[in-house]
Chain A
Amino acid sequence: MIDVIDLRKRYGDLEVLKGITTTIREGEKVVIIGPSGSGKSTFLRCLNCLEDPTGGEIIFEGVNIADMRVDINIHRRRMGMVFQQFNLFNNKNVIENIMLAPVYIRTQELRAKKIKNFFIRIRNLFTSNKKELYEINTTKAKIIEEAKEQALKLLRRIGLEDKAYVYPSTLSGGQKQRIAIIRSLAMNPKVILFDEPTSALDPEMVGEVLDLIKQLADEGMTMVIVTHEMGFARKVATRVLFMDEGQIVEENTPEELFSNPKHPRTKEFLSKVLSVH
């Protein structure tokens, strides 16, 4: 579903990604591990072009989204992203956070159709071969109603229905992150990118967030996860990538990679992080 071909990113003289090639297939849960500064977050952020790659291609659903001429906004709607710092919109309450993008984008589409229909009607006045109008079976009120229903359903799922109308500043880190996750779910994404989703959380809240991610994984959502939680990586991943110095050093199934690493750099890293736990 996502084909990454020789992806490169440099900041000035510093080359952060030195040619990454990999394929993320539908339903896969890819976990990226590696020491800090290895470029794993940059790689993830390049996948939805939050950082513009300086070289290479990212083919998502058949389109090279690394190309600057592509309207990236359309493709980002199909890719959810969850951040380390949650990034809930502080000026909006929980349900507005979830509804903002779906409502805006659907009303925008509705408006575009209406405008097109208007021109088709005018055109039809002057020609005998009538063009068909786009079908419009919704209104703005209906869009809002549906988005609200969906948002409440998602909130119910994570047991935070009673928090629908409070502002993010009143929530705990774990609650914020779970809401950030369902906010990205509200767009019905094909894939969700997780950028260290538990690194900014208190230890006691890590569990609830990981549980939710695990649930989504079990439902068959495609995921790319950057994390330091090795135990979680082992449980959820279908494939683990080990990155170092801007390259994928080793990739394998979690069982193989954790218990039988081949590359010396992987061995060294794993011995360090696993001995701590």
Chain B
Amino acid sequence: MGSFAKKVEKFWEVFYEHGGYTRVLTGLRNTFYIAVAGLVIGIIIGTIIAIIAVSPKYKRLPRILNRICRLYVGFFRGSPMVVQLLLFYFVLLPLFGSRMTPLSVCMLVFGLNSGAYVSEIMRGGIMSVDPGQMEAARALGLSYWVSMLKVVVPQAVKNIIPTLGNEFIVLIKETSIVSFVGASDLYVAFSYIGSNTYEFMVPYLVMALIYIVLVAIIALIVKMIERSLRKSDRRN
């Protein structure tokens, strides 16, 4: 036990006195940025794809769009996120000569990736809404898109909040791969501390704890959002 206390002492020295915590905070911030941006972009893309997927297909345009969306979902669900990240950063960006920072590339790729997953979640949510709702809106003379946006999607979103929360948690945890393209997150911060003390036990333990606490907080927030959205279901 004595050696463990010593390890903690060493960790504390680098973490606090040598300013390691600033790296951890930056890492935490980046983790958060990437996950939030990923979820927001993902919800936007996912909603668009889901609406295209459920829209009637007797015209040509929706059919073509649907084909494109299926390819998109196929690619982003069919390959690991690390591979997508590497492809974007080391293949696509140099091809277009773009100079994006690793952080913004990560936000983009996380968004595109979660868009594919959110689209499936969203599609399920939209299909779980009673078709009568759409019919009633159409019968009042609202167009398909307006009915979708004003009546169906709000109800679908309410149904899928728990699943979306889950997606956000997955994103938070997945951020630990961004060091592949040189963005700094929690993992980078703690392995920096580890390599400075030649001691990895405590830093990684703390890292695990931070992730767990983070996820617990998010789960709590999701539950609160869910409860406030349920107000139209509760009696009075």
Contacts and interface: CB of A to CB of B under 8 A. Distances in A.
A104 B155 contact: no
A112 B135 CA distance: 25
Given A100-B150, A104-B150, A89 B236 contact: no
Residue in B137, B139, B143, B232 with the greatest tally of chain A CB atoms within 10 Å: B139
Given A169-B232, A170-B236, A83 B142 contact: no
Contact of B132 (A79, A85, A93): A85
B108 interface: no
B137 to A, nearest CB: 7
Interface in A157-211: 166-170, 180, 183-184, 187
Nearest to B131: A87
Interface stretch (A5-13, A17-25, A69-77, A213-221): A69-77
19 contacts: A50-B138, A73-B141, A73-B143, A76-B140, A83-B139, A85-B132, A87-B136, A89-B133, A90-B133, A90-B232, A90-B233, A91-B232, A92-B151, A101-B140, A168-B232, A169-B232, A169-B234, A169-B235, A170-B235
Nearest to A193: B139
Contact of B141 (A90, A101, A167): A101
A48 interface: yes
Interface in A86-109: 87-93, 100-101, 104-105
| Interface of chain B, main secondary structure | helix
Interface residues of B, number: 24
A201 to B, nearest CB: 15
B7 interface: no
A81 B139 contact: yes
Contact of B135 (A87, A93, A105, A183): A87
Contact of B140 (A91, A167, A187): A187
B155 to A, nearest CB: 5
B36 to A, nearest CB: 25
A147 B143 CA distance: 20
Contact of A187 (B130, B141, B154): B141
B146 interface: yes
Contacts of B135: 50, 83, 87
B23 interface: no
A104 B141 CA distance: 10
A224 B150 CA distance: 28
B173 interface: no
B10 interface: no
Contact of A184 (B138, B140, B231): B140
B130 to A, nearest CB: 8
B158 interface: yes
B231 A167 contact: yes
| In the complex, the 4 A-B pairs of residues with the closest C-beta atoms, listed nearest first | A77-B141, A87-B136, A101-B140, A81-B139
Nearest to B129: A90
Contact of B139 (A50, A89, A166): A50
A76 B144 CA distance: 13
A170 B236 CA distance: 6
A74 B137 CA distance: 13
Interface string A56-84: 00000000000000000111110111010
Given A48-B139, A166-B236, A170-B236, A89 B132 contact: no
A248 B134 CA distance: 29
